[in-house]
Structure 1
Amino acid sequence: MTKNSIKELFSKAHELYNKKDFEKAKEVYEEILSFDRKNVEALVNLGVILKALGDRQTAYQNYVKAINLNPKYIFAYNNLGNLLKDTGNYKAAIQVYSDAIKIEPKNFHAYNSLGMVYEKLKDNNKAILSYKEAVRVNPNFAKAVNNIGVILYKQKKYEESIGIFKIALKIDPKYYELYSNIGACFNKLKKYDEAIDALNIAIEKNPKNGGAYTNLGNVYNKLYEYKKAAKLHEKSIELEPNGSNAYSNVGTSYKYLGQVKKSIDSYKKAIELDPNFVNAHFDLSTMYLAKGDYKNGWEEYEWRFKKEEMIPHIIKNKDIFSKPMFSGTEDVKDKTIILHSEQGFGDSIQFIRFLPKFKEKFPCKIAVKCRDELKELFKFIEEIDVLTHRNEATPEFDYHLPIMSMPKLLNMKTNKDLPKQNPYLFALKDKELEVKKEKGKINIGICWSASITGESYDGKVFDLKYFEPIINSNKINVYTLQVGPENEDIKKLGFEDKIIDVTDKLTDFSKTASLMKELDLVISSDTSVAHLAGALDVPVWIPLQKVPDWRWGNRGETTPWYPSAKLFRQKTSRVWDSVFQSIYDKLFSNFKIKIK
């Protein structure tokens, strides 16, 4: 075979590869190698074809053979490194890219690939250094500049990230994906108009950029325009059917549109495409739990500990998480299991109810490590053998278990499996918090805000002003149960002479519980105050957003979790007027108090 005929075969193979006709391209490269077994270019190109066909092992062998034949053939190193990176063999990939750089110090592609490996290893500092080296070698390499911006985005340095993306855009004005990245940053900064402008440019410049559509859909999710968001995510899926993010995002749009089945199917599709998609697993769990499918719900809910938001909690409590988590199969006779608080106060209050059944099923010593403000409240739970709070030393234990994992190990499948004890938390009478009973008057405790770090904060809270008709009633004494800076709303609205404020005495939840037991009614936003009232079996009315947290279900005025609770649901998202009108009507029907 002549050199010209081999050259023609290379050209033919290249054309077939561009047409994605990998099988025929493979045959052509094999034909070349049948005449010239030491042709390193054919070996490497065949490796690329084999990788595309899923034969990674033979591709690996081809790359190694090419390097052995010609230790300075840089394309073999680049492709071998990419193969190792794609298969998760990061340590070997780093070595291969480093070897490539030694051979060709100005190999900016190798520096960029090295940065991508360090990103996979979550070593962002080394990743940024590698990307900077790529840019130093080739100042016009916009891709590496973009990658620096992406890391800054992951680090939540959104303003800095925008600046880097704009630099990349100056280098390559046709790098239209950068507009999409800039839009995503503005979305995180809650600068929605700027986000929409940038993403519309991204779509205008490249109408086939699926990522831009789903980023724009995310903005409209934030703006509560779920129909518009869903259409954008659907367009993204149409363009990129294997995009797991778009499926997860449209699942959220469907969730808030009340399309439960479509939401679940979308999250499941996202997981099918990316089995380790943590947020999709977690969001799917909340959909199952909201509809009462506890069997699937608790299983998926375990993914919460892989969420990015939980990493600081795990690091802070590494003395607990460093030991094995109880799976329900270990022999725990004469052993100690430590139950520990996670997430918010309300979560611990809601789920501590499972402790008696848990100890009955798993007869062992129970230690509980809770958030500081819960310790006094939990002292009355007989099943706790050792009780500490987070600022105290962790007691000796053999296994740990997050409080919210108990129902999974108890095999809770339906609401019928909920513990029947009611109330399940108790409070001692506190003379400092005694409430004077006045004839013709009732005593109501109110709470209008929630933890700013909690899920769906914006949707579940409302303005204190909604309570004004109740506050002004001469038949109601109103007590504030709102602690923290939000309690300053009382002064801002001029209610300090109308609302009874003893929050300086509410130093922990046992104190709040003592006050609650004195009240005729609690009206609270979806926060720990509502859970505490329910756990104490104190009458509590809870105004809820249209699509509330999973634990309140999707419909109904009552909840099996708290028999003393009544739920008041929004009919229209973000509209509280009709909710509070229903509360005023209920005050009249229950207490004969007319609210003007």
Structure 2
Amino acid sequence: AEAYNNLGNVLKEMERLDESLQAYQKAICIQPQFVEGYYNIGFFFQEQGRLEESVQAYQKAIQIQPDYAEAHINLGVALREQGRLEESVQAHQKAIQIQPDYAEAHINLAITFLLQGQLTAGWKEFEWRRYRKRDFKRPLWDGTPLNGKSILVYAEQGFGDTIQFVRYIDLLSDTNTIIIVACQPELKSLFKSIDRIDILVTKGEDIPDSDVHVPLLSLPYIFNTNLDTIPARIPYLYPNLKADSVCNLDGNHRLKVGIAWAGRPTHVNDHNRSIDLKWFECLLDIRNCEFFSLQVGVRRDDVKQYRYHHIIKDLGKQFTNFHHTASAILQLDLVISVDTAVAHLAGALGKEVWTLLPFVPDWRWMLDRSDSPWYPSMTLFRQKETGDWSTVFQQIKLALTQYSQS
């Protein structure tokens, strides 16, 4: 059984998926109580999006070995991906009961809480990220008054996270405090417009000494953010259009619509949130609209590949940082984007933005609402069931037709 299980792992690495699954199944056929085989089958099905089969395999592993913390965690993730949030919470809590200091269990519990809109409980559990945090010599800030001290605030996740949570810099309101921010290089020119930042550095640059430090995504916890206290004043980013603008759109009277259809390919959930550009085809003949691609990276070439270059103007080819993207967005009337940094940026600029979400989205968008408390100018268009973008684009087409006529 062990040999077939190992063979299954090797075949999966080689992307020989059918043979990999057969090897795992052979392992549990030889040894029906082989818990690792069921766990690997669960993980295999989860990666393939076959969530119900994944749940059943994890449950079988747990039946054989009830104290298998990793199986409880992955069961919780699979249940969350099905939208079964209460069961997901229970699975993660069981993993924590088995192993109280298991950071991954706490972080996954946090994600489910946040998706439910239970922000207070979610931020608390999310602090278990400290086991992943960078090691600084200075103490971690706990929210006590800064009283003129210096504080280093540093980005720790993706571009969208940094754009969303940089708003908290304004809450560090002690004018005597020196605020040092470390962000991704692509965001540096954009963040220069934030007055409260005294020193702005990026990866690879020397970080000045500070009295305390804090990861950017710990600020919602420190400031006790709940649904009623989200700092949602927009805009909170003010790019200098004269300083570094790479495009000037003409001033005709047609509705200028920017689109983005794909996020970072390495994102763990990219297969759910990025879509084929062809989905936008149903919008391209709506009268009084002109379309602009805000896409960067390899997927920018989709415009040429699908021969849309005569309908969709490619702005993304000129972007080398987010200040460029922001300057373009400010010249548009509307942005339609999947869940990427472009959607966050449009929201942070106060631009009207329609964000396209999978059935179970990233935690920040929560469930069962068409607005976002983080971005007052944003409307959320959600899948009604996993993988169904058709209904989403029917709604988008109707909304855009009405919007263009008004």
TM tier, smaller: over 0.9
Specify which of 237, 240, 244 is matched with residue 425 of structure 1: 237
**Per-residue deviation, residues 32-81 of structure 1 (Å, max 9, x unmatched):** xxxxxxxxxxxxxxxxxxxxxxxxxxxxxxxxxxxxxxxxxxxxxxxxxx
How far is 1:515 from its partner?
Answer: 1.0
1:507 aligns with 2:332: no
Question: 1:315-363, CA deviations, whole angstroms, 9 ceiling, x for partnerless residues?
Answer: xxx6xx343222224x632321111111111111000111112335x96
Does the aligned pair in 1 maintain the 2:337–2:343 contact within 8 Å?
A: yes
Taking every aligned residue pair, what percent have the same amino acid on both sides? 35
User: What is the correspondence of 1:264-343 to structure 2 with a 5 Å cutoff?
Assistant: 264-307=89-132, 314=134, 321-329=136-144, 332-343=146-157
Match of 1:581 in 2: 394
**Contact residue 559 and residue 565 of structure 1 kept, 8 A:** yes
1:462 aligns with 2:275: yes
Give the counterpart letter for 1:347 in structure 2. Answer: D
Which residue of the partner structure matches residue 82 of structure 2? 257
**1:241 paired residue number:** 66
| Structure 2 residue aligned with 1:531 | 344
TM, length-normalised to structure 2: 0.94
Say whether the 8 Å CA contact 2:288–2:404 is kept in structure 1.
Answer: no
1:555 match:
368
The whole-number CA distance in structure 1 between the counterparts of 2:130 and 2:266 is 16
Q: Distance in 1 between matches of 2:205 and 2:385?
A: 46
1:203/1:212 contact within 8 Å kept: yes
Q: Secondary structure at the residue paired with 2:172? A: helix
Q: 1:381 to 1:239 in 2, by over 3 A?
A: same
Identify the match of residue 295 of structure 2 among 482, 499, 510.
482
- 8 Å CA contact 1:358, 1:406 repeated in 2: no
How far apart are the structure 2 equivalents of 1:393 and 1:213?
A: 48
- Return the offset for 1:225: 1.6
The equivalent of 1:39 in structure 2 is none
Deviation at 1:305, TM superposition (A): 4.5
1: CA distance between counterparts of 2:89 and 2:17? 27
Alignment of 1:164-179 (within 5 A): 176-179=1-4
Structure 2 residue runs of 5 or longer lacking an equivalent are: none
AA of the residue aligned to 1:556: R
Aligned residue in 1 for 2:353: 540
What is the one-letter code of the residue matched to 1:416?
D
* Runs (5+) with no aligned partner, structure 1: 1-175
What TM-score do you get using the length of structure 1 for normalisation?
Answer: 0.65
Letter in 1 for 2:85: V
Q: Is the 8 A contact 2:232 2:375 kept in 1?
A: no
Residue pair 2:193, 2:240 contacting (<8 A) in 1 also: no
CA distance in 1, matches of 2:49, 2:393: 21
Per the alignment, do residues 182 and 245 of structure 1 end up closer, same or farther by CA in structure 2, a change over 3 Å counting?
Answer: farther
Q: Give the Cα–Cα distance (whole angstroms) in 2 for the partners of residues 284 and 186 of structure 1.
A: 32
Deviations 1:158-203 (A, max 9, x none): xxxxxxxxxxxxxxxxxx1232233344445544312211110111
Match of 2:250 in 1: 436
Distance in 2 (alpha carbons) for counterparts of 1:185 and 1:296: 40
SS across alignment from 2:228: helix
Q: Deviations over 1:503-554 (max 9, x none)?
A: 2432221221111111011011101000000001101111111111000002
Contact between 1:345 and 1:528, CA under 8 Å: does it hold in 2?
yes
Q: Aligned pair 1:227/2:42, yes or no? A: no
The 1:585/1:496 distance shift into structure 2, 3 A limit, reads: same
Q: Which residue of 1 aligns with 2:333?
A: 520
Q: Secondary structure at the match of 1:433?
A: coil
What's the offset of the Cα at 1:211? 2.0
1:259 Cα deviation from its structure 2 partner: 1.1
2:188 and 2:195 mapped to 1: Cα distance?
Answer: 13
The DSSP-based 3-state class of the residue aligned with 1:264 is: helix
Q: How many equivalent residue pairs?
A: 404
RMSD: 2.0
Q: For the Cα contact (< 8 Å) 1:372–1:391, is it kept in 2?
A: no
- Give secondary structure in 2 for the equivalent of 1:495: coil
Q: How far 1:480 moved relative to its partner?
A: 0.9
- My pick for the range that moved more, 480-489 or 505-514, is 505-514
Q: Could you tell me how far 1:382 is from its partner in structure 2?
A: 1.7
Q: How far 1:497 sits from its partner (Å)?
A: 2.2
Q: By how many angstroms is 1:388 displaced?
A: 2.0
Check 1:190–1:296 CA distance in 2 against 1; reply closer, same or farther (3 A cut): farther
SS at 1:339 equivalent:
strand
The change in CA–CA distance for 1:420 and 1:568 in structure 2 (over 3 A counts) is closer
- Answer yes or no: is 1:373 the counterpart of 2:198: no
Question: What letter is aligned with 2:67?
Answer: N
Over 3 Å counting, the alpha-carbon distance change for 1:221 and 1:558 in structure 2 is same
**2-structure distance, mates of 1:546, 1:553:** 11
Report deviation, 1:407. 0.9
Q: CA deviation at 1:233?
A: 1.2
From the superposition, tell whether residues 191 and 303 of structure 1 become closer, same or farther in structure 2 (CA, over 3 Å): farther
Q: Does the aligned pair in 2 maintain the 1:358–1:410 contact within 8 Å?
A: no
* Equivalent pair of 1:359/1:366 in contact (CA under 8 Å): no
**Does residue 196 of the first structure (1) align with residue 10 of the second (2)?**
no
Moved over 6 A (4+): none
CA distance in 1, matches of 2:36, 2:365: 34
- Matched to 1:253, the amino acid is A
Could you tell me how far apart the structure 1 residues matched to 2:67 and 2:109 are? Answer: 19
2:379 corresponds to which letter in structure 1?
K
Residue in structure 2 matched with residue 349 of structure 1 by the alignment: 163
Q: Quick one: which amino acid aligns to residue 180 of structure 1? A: N
CA offset digits 1:8-55 (Å, max 9, x no partner)? xxxxxxxxxxxxxxxxxxxxxxxxxxxxxxxxxxxxxxxxxxxxxxxx
Larger helix proportion, structure 1 or 2? Answer: 1
Residue 568 of structure 1, aligned match among 369, 373, 381:
381
1:95-174 equivalences under 5 Å are none
1:384 aligns with 2:209: no
Measured in 2, the distance between the counterparts of 1:192 and 1:251 equals 24
Distance apart, 1:218 and its partner CA: 1.2
Structure 2 counterpart of 1:588, one-letter code: T
**What SS does the corresponding residue of 1:304 show, helix, strand or coil?**
helix
The 2-side partners of 1:248 and 1:405 are apart by 23
Q: Is the Cα–Cα contact under 8 Å of residues 246 and 319 in structure 2 kept in the other structure?
A: no
